[in-house]
């Protein structure tokens, strides 16, 4: 019943008595009391999505007969601590962010046609690599325990990593991946479900910034194998950047090419589920100028069911390679989720992040207070999430 | 079942056993792969609404007894290729556009009281003239095949038509109709349905830009007759502009008075449905300064059912009269819609637009890439839409 | 049946056969034709929410067994006259307003856990004092008849009250309460319902503007007693301001500390319901600089049922204390609501507001035309609302 409370079965227009269709209203409201400690300063706020991302969505499927189905999915992010909204991105570049002034279907906005041959899906959705990052993180890329692999990719490193920012102008690039989580305008193909455990997808989005331009073009793929307790998948994604990377300070706003590949997996031993991921993200200017920079990160994690609850733990590291510098960060996280029902859970997570070599990643980069919760260059920070997740 | 999947019948509070009320969640998700060819340049993107406008809405009716009913309609536009949103306009002027940062009920936002005497409807809705333009266009003003009558009215001609822009400053006006499709703040009356085929409406919106001002005031009406295979209607609308049209370049931002009238009709021969429309839109400064400018356009079109599908074709022309110049454009369009069910369809449309006499209309003026897909002054452009429309 | 038309009963995951949960889509669409008369000028517009605030919301409850329940509430404001949207505030300061570019759950956005011990509610909601202001106003703080107590609190007095604005720069403060109606980021506790008529709540929101800052911190409480025809409640709320109040003109944008307390009550005599409220709001700079300013206001009102309708009337006064000045305003209002059903009503309200001693409050401060409908300093203004309210 989870996430599908308003689901009305209606007869499909195509006709067969067994053909059924539905439209579902679904959502999650997750509120978090977060306490941060960084550089000796404390901060307590009410925020959201510490366990699962708050959302409101509408989705449905129509059985077209003969194994064919059409479906849609519109899902918006919610900041339920204050009633404001998540954003989207119209063209997959750093400058394409929009929405957030109201309910925005930036989490997913797709229409699909599927059959025995697989699924064609059109619109905004997760990119292939993000599936590995979030599925093989015991904290699911939510809250203070989010793998540092993800925290590094969604931070503008050129400004937060001091050594990077002090390089000579020609090599400065804004090292952030605009499509680290999702991309818009995608034409995707998914393998069907009956391939003996093999699953996969290919995803492509054209550049939509200007006629003939390349900025924001995205291409990626994912291939995996899951059977019984075992699951492993590898994924790749590449976003084309824009030109003009050379001209002084303003060039920091220009987007580099970003390529990302990762591999992750898990083994469910019953009494515990172990998981691991390795990720490499490379930022290059696409014009033969060196040095480029890259992020290399990995995570090991575990999830242990305990009665109606679950203990979660992870350790993750991230290192940046850029010229003679190598800023690096590490993080460990531990938490407990207590399920009051399938829909409602209470949770607590504690995480501690250490920076070395010039790094200054924050324990929660998504907050307006991020600069205040990173402990400074080579500083340490910690965070504690206490919250309630309610889904419908 | 189309467009009304979540419709729960509830007993009306007023009491009679047969009196029923409902609230409906409805929507359309239409994704389009569009290819443009203009001035030798090609461009392919994922966009939306190539066949029907993507939307999400809530509407309902309450039976009040004695033939009286109250109803509401809240309908928002969706850009489902990237999760962003349509806009609205708070005061019916060129400067009143707002929303679009999130779900915005800019397509329709009304509350109504109706009975045997007709319907009073309050709020934002289509203007009377748009009904003729969209109903008597086989492409329904969606996608590359949209009648050129509509494309011209929603383009700021003062900037896209070169001869117009080079006129002396006193006669320059921003020749765009802010209410070419919808108007806000309307008080509308609709004739009841039982008048032997006669239908009609009167629509009025006060100016809301300033105390005592006139800018954004709208008045319009529509009268039609439909019986059996025959349907014809005439409509008129007038938007009052703002003052200060004389002062140099800035005056281009000032809104002229806009009046629009049209007549359209169709005859359904069974094997084909033929339709035609004539439209005249006049931009005047309201202060006796000549020359004013006007748009004159017409369309002929046909829709031919073929098994579960439909072939569509149209030819439309548009001419601008301004001083000694007469920029003019023409367009033909052909397409096929294949219905997989009543809710889901695949479609393809091809259209080609030619500009002469200084015109530079674009094959799709709604795109950010519009300036790149018009082929330039006197240039030609073409577009191909391939897509899927799914409604719920 | 009011406000809960889409409510699907589903079995709770927790198990007991009697345990039921629901998700509800609800809303109000209220359209108002408003006529204003101020300083000899007339203005008629179509606006919204003259009787009840237009809204669209989603809410639900899950029975967790053992008397425990989880619930959520997401409610957005609608401007249904033009399809635009209400706003919210991310950090409870004058600078934290956001949203309004689309559907924004700024009216309420909460998740709760409740049991025999009461309710813990997290997120954006009404502040305690607003409950007294709106419940004990026969016009419910909607439309031209809204108590002048509320009109004064939601107006930036530093600009509308001339004497205040002409004080020396160091003592000028922007005397507006950002949390006069709601606050975000709140952690609230509500007493359970079974305390013999006693009810109450405590509400706290941390400052979220910067690490260690105090601006936007909110704390409040409400305690009441209701039994049979009698109901009385007192409430308090305090918002912490920001620093730097001294530096010239820019300091006008800085937020003072705001404290608000009020007491209200009603007695339902059957043939009439009488109500009264007293409210005192104090703006202080928190740094010992004098003079501070305060608002003192009161209301008496009555509601008289008449067949299927209701006659409403109120008289309210507001006085500002600031240095040697004492701007003051008074207002009387009378109206009639005709219920066509429990969901649909027609209404008319007339109100007249008088300013003295330098006051220039407007008959409807929520309008863009507000400056045009206040009749100027010491001026009088009146307003007439005619409308329809439809809920679902």
What interface predicted TM-score (ipTM) does this complex get? 0.90
- Are C85 and C104 in contact by the 8 Å Cβ rule? The answer is yes
Q: Is the pLDDT of residue B222 over 70?
A: yes
**Mean pLDDT computed over every residue of chain C:** 84
Mean pLDDT of chain B: 84
Q: Model confidence at A253, in pLDDT bands (50, 70, 90)?
A: very low
pLDDT of residue A104: 96
- CB of A109 closer than 8 Å to CB of A90: no
Give the pLDDT confidence of B49-84 residue by residue, as tens digits. Answer: 999 999 999 999 999 999 999 999 999 999 999 999
Q: What per-residue confidence (pLDDT) applies to A378? A: 81
pLDDT at A226 over 70: yes
Is the CB of residue C346 less than 8 Å from the CB of residue C338?
A: yes
Determine the residue among C87, C93, C102 to mutate to test chain A binding: the one whose Cβ has the most chain A Cβ atoms within 10 Å.
C102
Judge whether residue C315 has pLDDT over 70: yes
Rg over alpha carbons for chain C, rounded to the nearest Å, is 21
Q: Reply yes or no on whether the pLDDT at C341 is more than 90.
A: yes
Bridge partners, residue B312, by sequence: B303, B335
Q: How far is A153 from chain C (nearest CA, A)?
A: 24
Chain B contacts of C103, Cβ < 8 Å? 76, 102-105
Q: Are A127 and B84 in contact (CB under 8 A)?
A: no
**Mutation for C interface: A22, A80, A83, most C CBs within 10 A:** A83
Structure tokens at B267: 């005859």
Answer yes or no: do B102 and A101 touch at CB < 8 A.
Answer: yes
As a whole number of angstroms, the distance between CA A316 and CA A333 comes to 9
Q: What is the pLDDT of residues B304-346, one digit of tens each?
A: 999 999 999 999 999 987 656 678 899 999 999 999 999 999 9
For residues B359 and B321, what is the distance between their CA atoms, to the nearest angstrom?
11
Residue B215 in this model has a pLDDT that exceeds 90: no
Q: What pLDDT does residue B364 have?
A: 81
Q: Which residue intervals of chain B are DSSP H helices?
A: 128-135, 148-153, 157-160, 162-165
CB nearest to A206's CB, from B45, B78, B372:
B45
Interface test with C, best of B21, B98, B186 (most C CBs within 10 A): B98
Q: Which two tokens stand for residue C198?
A: 């006693």
Q: Considering only CA atoms, which of B20, B23, B21, B18 is closest in space to residue B6? A: B23
Residue percentage of chain A with pLDDT more than 90: 62
Which H or E element spans position B389? strand B380-391
Tell me the pLDDT tens digit for each residue of B226-264: 999 999 999 999 998 875 444 443 333 357 788 999 999
A159 secondary structure, DSSP code: H
Q: Give chain C positions within 8 Å (CB) of A390.
A: 62, 70-72, 111
Under an 8 A CB cutoff, do C102 and B99 touch? yes
Question: How far is the C-alpha of A28 from the C-alpha of C232, rounded, in Å?
Answer: 37
Chain C residues touching residue A43 (CB < 8 angstroms): 211-212
Please answer whether residues A347 and A335 qualify as being in contact, where contact means their C-beta atoms are separated by less than 8 angstroms: yes
Q: What is the average per-residue pLDDT within B76-103? A: 91
* Burial label, C190 (beta-carbon count in 10 A; 0-12, 13-18, 19+): middle
Phi, psi angles (nearest 5°) of residue C29: -120, 110
What does the mean pLDDT of chain A come to? 84
Q: How far is CA A101 from each of CA B61, B105, C252, rounded to the nearest angstrom? A: 30, 14, 26
Using CA atoms, how far residue B16 sits from B23, B66, C168, C372, in Å, is: 18, 9, 68, 48
Determine the Cα–Cα distance for residues A240 and C308; give it in Å rounded to an integer. 66
Taken in order C368, C369, C375, C377, the sign of the CA dihedral is: positive
Chain-chain contact of C74 with A33 (C-beta, under 8 angstroms): no
What pLDDT is attached to residue B133?
97
What pLDDT, on a 0 to 100 scale, did the predictor assign at position B167?
A: 40
Strand B309-322 with B328-339, pairing: antiparallel
Our CA-based measurement puts residue B387 at a distance from the nearest CA of chain A, in whole angstroms, of 9
| C366: β partners | none
Span C344-353, average pLDDT: 97
Q: Do A105 and B78 touch (CB under 8 A)?
A: yes
Rounded CA-CA distance C296/C136 in Å is 16
B102-109: average pLDDT = 97
User: H or E element: which one contains A128?
Assistant: helix A128-135
Residue ranges of the alpha helices (H) in C94-170?
A: 128-135, 148-153, 157-160, 162-165
The answer, yes or no, to whether residue A211 has pLDDT greater than 90, is no
CA distance C180 to C141: 12
Q: Is B158 helix (H, G, I), strand (E, B) or coil?
A: helix
| More confident call, A299 vs A19 | A299
**Largest Cα–Cα separation, chain C:** 69
* pLDDT above 90 as % of chain C: 62
C-alpha B179/C-alpha B308 separation (Å) is: 36
Which of A6, A9, A12, A13 is most worth mutating to test chain B (most B CB atoms within 10 A of its CB)?
Answer: A13
Measured CA to CA in angstroms, residue A240 lies from A375, B82, B222 at distances of 33, 18, 51
Contact C98, C82 (CB under 8 A): no
Which segment of A118-122, A253-257, B44-48, C140-144 scores lowest on mean pLDDT? A253-257
- Yes or no, beta carbons of A102 and C98 under 8 Å apart: no
Q: Would the CA dihedral through B149, B151, B156, B160 be positive or negative?
A: negative
Task: Give residue for tokens 């570049």.
Answer: A93
Task: Determine whether the interchain pair C341/B101 forms a contact, defined as Cβ–Cβ distance below 8 Å.
Answer: no
For residue C375, pLDDT over 60 is answered with yes
Please report all neighbours of B, defined by 3+ CB atom pairs within 8 A. Answer: A, C
- B218-227/A87-89 β-pairing: unpaired
Confidence of residue A8 (pLDDT cuts 50, 70, 90): very low
Q: For the residues B33-40, what does the mean pLDDT come to?
A: 87
| d(CA B369, nearest CA chain A) in Å | 6
Mean pLDDT of B339-357: 96
Chain A residues whose CB is inside 8 A of the B85 CB are: 99, 102, 104-105
In chain A, which residues have their Cβ closer than 8 Å to the Cβ of C184? 81-83
Position with higher pLDDT, A129 vs C357: A129
A76 vs B contacts (CB less than 8 Å): 83, 103
Q: What is the pLDDT of residues C241-297, one digit of tens each?
A: 875 444 443 334 357 788 999 999 999 999 999 999 999 998 876 544 445 678 899
Question: E-assigned strands of C66-181?
Answer: 68-79, 84-85, 87-89, 97-99, 108-115, 118-126
Q: Which residues pair with B77 in a beta bridge?
A: B55
Q: What is the pLDDT of residue A365?
A: 65
When pLDDT is averaged across residues B114-140 and rounded to a whole number, the result is 98
Q: Could you tell me the end-to-end alpha-carbon distance of chain A, in angstroms, rounded to an integer?
A: 9
In whole angstroms, what is the distance from residue C271 CA to residue C306 CA? 9
Q: What is the pLDDT of residues C135-182, one digit of tens each?
A: 999 999 999 999 999 988 877 654 333 333 344 333 444 467 889 999
- A280-322 residue pLDDT tens: 998 876 544 445 678 899 999 999 999 999 999 999 999 987 6
CA B206 – CA B88 distance, rounded (Å)? 17
Note the pLDDT of residue A370: 43
């Amino acid at each position: 019943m989870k996430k599908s409370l308003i689901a009305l079965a209606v007869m499909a227009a195509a006709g067969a008595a067994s053909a059924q269709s539905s439209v579902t209203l679904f959502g999650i409201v997750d509120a978090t009391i977060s306490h941060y400690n960084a550089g000796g300063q404390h901060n307590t706020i009410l925020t959201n999505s510490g366990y699962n991302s708050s959302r409101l969505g509408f989705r449905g499927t129509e059985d077209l007969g003969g194994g064919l189905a059409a479906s849609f999915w519109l899902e918006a992010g919610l900041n339920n601590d204050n009633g404001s909204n998540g954003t989207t991105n119209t063209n997959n570049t750093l400058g394409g962010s929009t929405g957030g002034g109201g309910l925005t279907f930036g989490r997913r906005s797709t229409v699909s046609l599927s059959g025995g041959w697989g699924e064609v899906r059109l619109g905004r959705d997760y990119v292939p690599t993000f599936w590995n990052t979030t599925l093989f993180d015991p904290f699911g890329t939510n809250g203070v325990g989010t793998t540092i692999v993800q925290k590094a990719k969604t931070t503008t490193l050129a400004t937060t990593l001091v050594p990077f920012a002090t390089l000579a102008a020609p090599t400065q690039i804004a090292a952030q991946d605009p499509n680290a989580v999702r991309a818009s305008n995608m034409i995707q193909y998914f393998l069907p479900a009956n391939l003996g455990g093999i699953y996969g997808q290919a995803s492509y989005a054209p550049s939509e910034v200007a006629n003939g331009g390349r900025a924001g073009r995205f291409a990626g793929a994912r291939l995996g194998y899951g059977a019984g307790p075992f699951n492993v998948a590898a994924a790749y994604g590449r976003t084309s950047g824009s030109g003009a990377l050379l001209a002084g300070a303003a060039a920091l706003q220009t987007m580099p090419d970003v390529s990302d590949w990762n591999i992750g997996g898990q083994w469910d031993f019953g009494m515990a589920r172990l998981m691991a991921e390795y990720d490499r993200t490379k930022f290059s200017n696409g014009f033969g100028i060196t040095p480029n920079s890259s992020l290399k990160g990995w995570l090991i994690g575990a999830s242990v069911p305990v009665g109606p609850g679950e203990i979660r733990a992870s350790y993750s590291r991230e290192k940046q390679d850029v010229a003679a510098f190598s800023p690096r960060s590490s993080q460990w996280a531990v938490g407990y989720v207590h399920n009051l029902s399938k829909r409602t859970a209470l949770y607590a997570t504690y995480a501690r992040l250490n920076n070395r070599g010039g790094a200054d990643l924050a324990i929660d980069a998504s907050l307006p207070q991020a600069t205040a919760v990173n402990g400074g260059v080579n500083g340490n920070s910690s965070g504690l999430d206490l919250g309630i997740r309610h889904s419908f």
